[in-house]
Every structure is written in structure tokens, then in C-alpha cells.
Structure 1
Amino acid sequence: MSAKPRRKSVGIEPDRAAAAGEQPKRRRLPSDERRVAILAAAAELFAEEGFAASTRRLASRLGVTQAALYKHFRSKDEIVAALFEERARQWGKEDWHAALALDDAPLAERLGRLYARYLDAITGQSMRLFVRAGLDGYGQPGRRGAALTASILEPVIAALRREAGLADLPTRAMQHEEREIAMTLHGSLMFLAIRKHVYRMQLPEDLTEHAMRQVRLWLPGAIAEMRQLHASPPEEIVPQLAPRR
């Protein structure tokens, strides 16, 4: 049986010495490129082995020393934090407030297509990282709560209020139960991504129809619950859910 080919080191390129059978020289990458290379290798490693994988394993995969890693990141936790910041930027490029407020299409269609694009931006690697972070105690799903609320759940709640003819967010602050209503939809759609990328179930590459169906099923009940909620006095709001001024 032939030996498996070795994984190529990041930042290595062949030169004349290599062609002559000598050890190839390591190309020194600019600092920003090296950070990108480290994060790419970290994403691959942690998605495969979990966050218990050591920085020694990461350095070995990159073909560098641990000391070289720490020139760019002070600790493993800092690598993990930067990794999830990058994934959050990839998932959250859309302006949900603008998309839900300005389009004249029915709310179910607007929301369904927004979530379809959101799901399309989720890769298998990023979804496995997200799940592993929770299982391995890194708490990234919990830490993203405020960002998720601001970028997705708040716009959804604002759109629901407009659809139901209720007070807008500047008039009446977001309530815990409203966030839970929006989270019901978000969670069901994220489970589609988990089924596809973590369970490896046979789902279509394009999840648009699945997203549209989930929204259509959820929307009538969500509007009814919002109206009932607003018929009662407002509850006390925790600071991170208060509307931004």
C-alpha cells in the first residue's frame, strides 16, 4: 500500500533548492496573511477534532513552532475568539432591518428569502465549529446572543409588530417573550443547517423551499402571540434587550 501524501505546510513554496532535492525555503508571510492562514488551519483542525485539540497540534499542521503562533495570537482562547468573529461576519452580512422594512413583498416571502440566504452562507465547517464550541465548553453560541438579537431577532420582531399593527420598538421596548417568539423560528431553521451539515442528512443544496415553509407555518401563530403579549402591561426589560437610541 502506498504511503499517504503529507499535508502541505502553510507558507511553503518550492524553489530551485527544492528542485535540486534540498530542503525548500519557508516563505515569510506578511502578518495579516499569517493570521488568516492560522485561522484557516484552526477552523479545519477544530472542526475535525474539537476544541480540545492543542496549539501544538495546530502549529504542527501549519508547519511552524508554537512560538510563531503566539506572535500573532496571545493564547488559544484568542484564536478561538478570532475564529468565531470571522464566522459571525460571514453569517451576518445582510441588513435585516432594511430588507424587512423596505420590500413590498408579503412578510412571509421577505423573511423566508432572508433566511434562505442566511442558511446558504453556512458551511459544513462553520456549523460543526458552532456545535463543537457549545459541547466543548467554549460558549460561543451563548456569547453570540447579543449580536444575534441586534442583527436578526430585533429586525424580525420589528417586522412582526408592523404586521400585527403594534407599537414600534422605540415606543415599547423589546420583551423577553418576543425574543423567544423570534427565536422559535430561528432555532427551527438553524436545525435545518444542523441536519444538513452535522447529521449529514440528505437535504437539498438549496434550502429556500424549506425556509419558506417554516416561515409560513410560524408566522400566523407568531402574530397571534405578539398581539396577546402586547395586550398585557410591558415586562421589565434587561439592559441588553433595550432598544438602541
Structure 2
Amino acid sequence: MSIQKQRKTPEKEAAPRRRLSPEARRDEIVDAAVTLFAETGFDGSTRDVARGAGITQPLLYRYFPNKESLIEAVYARVFLKSWDPAWDETLADRSLPVQERFQTFYEAYTDAIFQPVWLRLWHFASLRDAEVYGWYKEVVQEQILKPLVRERRAELGVNQGFQVSAAELEAPWLLHGGLLNYGLRMQVTGRADANARAGVIRQALDMYMLFSQNKLSLDK
């Protein structure tokens, strides 16, 4: 009896790892981390990040020695790189009323940040990662809210000091946080509308300008 020799089906070979420059490989890892953390929050594991980047976990650690350094890179990519340096000039341009400057700024700023990944990472940081939220809070206070307080003081001709107290930041934080929550609601409901957003920004600034006028007038 002849025995037919069975042919072995060759196993599927793993796709060879692409050769990338260290900079490109690092960017790929950060991209994978951004994608994962936007879905799971900052609790996502480095093992899953490595899987998403198509590399091994030991290779990931050659670029990021610990998860904290990876989170810092994600923060820089998503939160810091969304800032346009030209906005600093817009906010400081005293040839225009404060409200007009901040209206222009917030329309451009929300265009940049009202994106699913940015809003989800901000939401996760607010809820579960005090350190990332702390980094973001510091940048917002120094680059947006303190300038708003100082420029409004100058416009009203009162309390021209450089220092801004924690109490003075409460109203600007209500303005800023309210706009971020508006963006999150629009994302969840799918009702994003640039024209409606400009009106919401205007209303929020109207309320702050009225509040600051009343408050600073009492402080004269």
C-alpha cells in the first residue's frame, strides 16, 4: 500500500519589523500611546502600547524607560503642540478690546482642541490622572487665564499689579472649563456647529466681562 506523503503547510511568517530611524520609531510609539489612552484612559498598559506600535515591550523601554516618560510624551504631543505661538500676540494686542481678542483666540483655540482625541484625553486626565491634569492646568493658567485677568484690569484701569490671586482665577476657570464641557457635550451628541460655538464663546465672555467690571469697580 502506498502511503501518500502529506505536504506540510508552511507556517505564516511574521511580518518583518520595519526599519525606522529612532525619531520615527519614537513617533510611532507615541502615536500608539495616544490612540490607546484616548480609548482606555491613562491606565492603558505599556504592553498594549507596544502591541499597537507593532513592537516588543522591551523595545518600547529603550525609547521610554517607564510609563511616566511615555505619558509626558503624550501630553506634549496632544496638549502642548495644540498651542499656536501666534495666540500669545493676539491676547497681548492692546489695540483691540479684551473681549474681541479673547473671542478671536477662543474661536481658534476650540477649532484646534475640539477633536475627539484631545477631548477624551482631557476628560480622562480630569477624572483619573491628577498629574497630567496638573500640567494642563498650569499651562492654561499661565498662558490664558492670568493674561485675561491682567488685560481686563488694564482695560478698566484698576489693580494693575502683575500677580493674580487664586480667587481672581475662579471666574476665568468657570469660563474656560465651561467651554471645554460644551465641546465635550457637542462631541457626545454629535451636534458640533462652528457658528453656534462662536455664539457660546461670546456669551461666556459677556458674562466674564460683566462680572469683572462689577468686581474690579468695587475694588477701586
- Tell me if both proteins adopt one fold, taking TM over 0.5 as the criterion: yes
Change (3 A) 1:36 1:87: same
- Among 162, 172, 175, the alignment partner of 1:182 is 172
Equivalent position of 1:134 in the other structure: 126
- The question of 1:154 aligning with 2:170 is answered no
- The question of 1:114 aligning with 2:115 is answered no
Equivalent position of 1:211 in the other structure: 201
Q: Which string of whole-angstrom CA distances, capped at 9 and with x for unpartnered residues, describes residues 89-140 of structure 1?
A: 2332245553133253332222111111111111210110111123233531
Paired residues of 1:95 and 1:151 also in contact (CA < 8 A): no
Equivalent position of 2:55 in the other structure: 64
In structure 2, what is the Cα distance between the partners aligned to 1:217 and 1:179?
14
Task: Specify the SS of the correspondent of 2:63.
Answer: coil
The structure in which a higher percent of residues are helix is 2
Q: Which string of whole-angstrom CA distances, capped at 9 and with x for unpartnered residues, describes residues 32-60 of structure 1?
A: 11111111111111111222221111111
Change (3 A) 1:90 1:200: farther
Paired residues of 1:51 and 1:133 also in contact (CA < 8 A): yes
Aligned length: 207
Unaligned runs of 5+ in 1: 1-20, 232-245
Unaligned runs of 5+ in 2: 1-11
In structure 2, what is the Cα distance between the partners aligned to 1:196 and 1:104?
33
Paired residues of 2:125 and 2:132 also in contact (CA < 8 A): yes
66-75 vs 46-55, which moves further: 46-55
User: What TM-score does the superposition give when structure 1 sets the normalisation length?
Assistant: 0.76
142-151 vs 72-81, which moves further: 142-151
In structure 1, what is the Cα distance between the partners aligned to 2:78 and 2:186?
18
- State the structure with more CA Rg: 2
Q: Which string of whole-angstrom CA distances, capped at 9 and with x for unpartnered residues, describes residues 166-186 of structure 1?
A: 13234xx21222111221211
RMSD, matched Cα: 2.1
Paired residues of 1:133 and 1:140 also in contact (CA < 8 A): yes
Paired residues of 1:112 and 1:215 also in contact (CA < 8 A): yes
Equivalent position of 1:25 in the other structure: 16
Q: CA deviation at 1:222?
A: 2.1
Equivalent position of 2:92 in the other structure: 101
State percent identity of aligned pairs: 28
Paired residues of 1:97 and 1:155 also in contact (CA < 8 A): no
In structure 1, what is the Cα distance between the partners aligned to 2:207 and 2:83?
24
Q: CA deviation at 1:61?
A: 1.4
In structure 2, what is the Cα distance between the partners aligned to 1:60 and 1:204?
36
Equivalent position of 2:191 in the other structure: 202
User: What TM-score does the superposition give when structure 2 sets the normalisation length?
Assistant: 0.84
Aligned 1:33-52 pairs, distance under 5 A: 33-52=24-43
Equivalent position of 1:226 in the other structure: 216
Q: CA deviation at 1:23?
A: 5.0
